[in-house]
Amino acid sequence: MRIEKAALAAALLVSAFAASAQTIKIGFITSYSGLNGNLGPYMERAVRLYLKQHENELGGVKVELLTRDDTGPNPDKARQLAQELVVRDKVNLLAGVIFTPNAMAMAPIASEAKVPFVIMNAGTAVITTRSPYMVRTSFTLWQSSYPLGEWAAKKFKTAYTLVSDFGPGHDSEEAFGKAFSAGGGKIVGSVRAPLQNPDWAAYMQRVKDAKPDALMVFIPAGKTATAVMKNFSELGLDKAGIKLIGPGDITTDEELPNMGDVALGVITVHHYSAAGDRPANKEFVAAWKKEYGQNETPNFVAVGAYDGAAIIVEAIRQQKGKLDPDKTMEIFKQWKSANSPRGPISIDPETRDIVQNEYLREVRKVNGQLANVELETLATALKDPWKELQKKK
Ligand code: PHB
> If you measure from the C-alpha of residue 194 to the centroid of ligand 1, how many angstroms do you get, rounded to a whole number?
14
- 98 C-beta closer than 6 A to ligand 1: yes
- 174 C-beta closer than 6 A to ligand 1: no
**Residues 131-142, mean pLDDT to the nearest whole number:** 99
How far separated are the first and last CA of the chain, in Å rounded? 72
- 100 C-beta closer than 6 A to ligand 1: yes
> If you measure from the C-alpha of residue 98 to the centroid of ligand 1, how many angstroms do you get, rounded to a whole number?
6
pLDDT of the residue at 321? 95
pLDDT of the residue at 12? 53
Task: Examine the pLDDT at 389 and tell me if it is beyond 90.
Answer: yes
- 103 C-beta closer than 6 A to ligand 1: no
Q: Which atom of ligand 1 is nearest to the CA of 98?
A: 5
Task: Examine the pLDDT at 19 and tell me if it is beyond 90.
Answer: no
Task: Examine the pLDDT at 16 and tell me if it is beyond 90.
Answer: no
**Residues 263-270, mean pLDDT to the nearest whole number:** 98
Q: What is the pTM of this model?
A: 0.95
Q: Which atom of ligand 1 is nearest to the CA of 123?
A: 3
Contact between 65 and 56 under an 8 Å Cβ cutoff? The reply is no
**Residues 39-66, mean pLDDT to the nearest whole number:** 98
The predicted-structure confidence for 275-285, as pLDDT tens digits, reads as follows 999 999 999 99
| 98, 252, 255, 303: residue to mutate for ligand 1 pocket, most atoms within 8 A of CB | 98
The predicted-structure confidence for 302-361, as pLDDT tens digits, reads as follows 999 999 999 999 999 999 999 999 999 999 999 999 999 999 999 999 999 999 999 999
* Average pLDDT over the chain, rounded to an integer: 95
Task: Examine the pLDDT at 17 and tell me if it is beyond 90.
Answer: no
From the DSSP assignment, how many helices (H) and strands (E) are in the chain?
Answer: 13, 14
> If you measure from the C-alpha of residue 204 to the centroid of ligand 1, how many angstroms do you get, rounded to a whole number?
21
> If you measure from the C-alpha of residue 219 to the centroid of ligand 1, how many angstroms do you get, rounded to a whole number?
8
- 124 C-beta closer than 6 A to ligand 1: yes
Share of the chain above pLDDT 90, in %: 94
| 99, 137, 142: residue to mutate for ligand 1 pocket, most atoms within 8 A of CB | 99
Residue 393: pLDDT band (50, 70, 90) is: confident
pLDDT of the residue at 163? 98
- 135 C-beta closer than 6 A to ligand 1: no
- 168 C-beta closer than 6 A to ligand 1: yes
Q: Which atom of ligand 1 is nearest to the CA of 122?
A: 3
Give CA 104 to chain center in angstroms: 15
> If you measure from the C-alpha of residue 353 to the centroid of ligand 1, how many angstroms do you get, rounded to a whole number?
15
Contacts of 126 (CB under 8 A, 6+ apart): 167, 386
Q: What radius of gyration, in Å, describes the C-alpha atoms of the chain?
A: 22
CA dihedral 261, 41, 138, 293 (to 10 degrees): -60
Residue 81: pLDDT band (50, 70, 90) is: very high
CA distance 102 to 364: 34
> If you measure from the C-alpha of residue 238 to the centroid of ligand 1, how many angstroms do you get, rounded to a whole number?
26
The predicted-structure confidence for 101-111, as pLDDT tens digits, reads as follows 999 999 999 99
- 267 C-beta closer than 6 A to ligand 1: no
pLDDT of the residue at 13? 53
Contacts of 311 (CB under 8 A, 6+ apart): 118, 135, 137, 331, 332, 335, 347
Task: Examine the pLDDT at 155 and tell me if it is beyond 60.
Answer: yes
User: Whose alpha carbon is nearest atom 7 of ligand 1?
Assistant: 220
CA dihedral 96, 100, 103, 107 (to 10 degrees): 150
Task: Examine the pLDDT at 179 and tell me if it is beyond 80.
Answer: yes
User: Whose alpha carbon is nearest atom 6 of ligand 1?
Assistant: 220
The predicted-structure confidence for 57-73, as pLDDT tens digits, reads as follows 999 999 999 999 999 99
Task: Examine the pLDDT at 122 and tell me if it is beyond 90.
Answer: yes
